[in-house]
């Protein structure tokens, strides 16, 4: 019985330490996602520019 209690307490401690360690990593994610969003926007602009160039050359 003592071993089971010790294992439960140790697992709760480990889970708490893991949860406390994960929070700073989540704070860093928005900066990375903002950079990804910028790259996607740039790619979308490049595709729009290519389509408009193709349409302009096809109209000539």
Tokens linked to 22 = 């994960």
* 41 vs 55: which has the higher pLDDT: 41
Spell out the SS3 assignment of 7-42: HHHHHHHHHHHHHHHHHHHHHHHHHHHHHHHHHHHH
Tokens linked to 14 = 């480990």
pLDDT tens digits, one per residue of 4-54: 999 999 999 988 887 776 555 555 556 667 778 888 888 888 888 887 877
* pLDDT value of position 21: 62
* pLDDT value of position 6: 94
Query: Looking at the predicted structure, is the pLDDT value of residue 59 above 80?
Result: no
């Amino acid at each position: 019985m003592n071993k089971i209690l010790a294992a439960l307490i140790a697992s709760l401690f480990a889970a708490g330490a893991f949860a406390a360690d994960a929070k700073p990593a989540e704070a860093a994610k928005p900066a990375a996602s903002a950079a990804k969003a910028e790259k996607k926007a740039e790619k979308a602009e490049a595709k729009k520019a290519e389509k408009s160039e193709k349409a302009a050359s096809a109209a000539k």
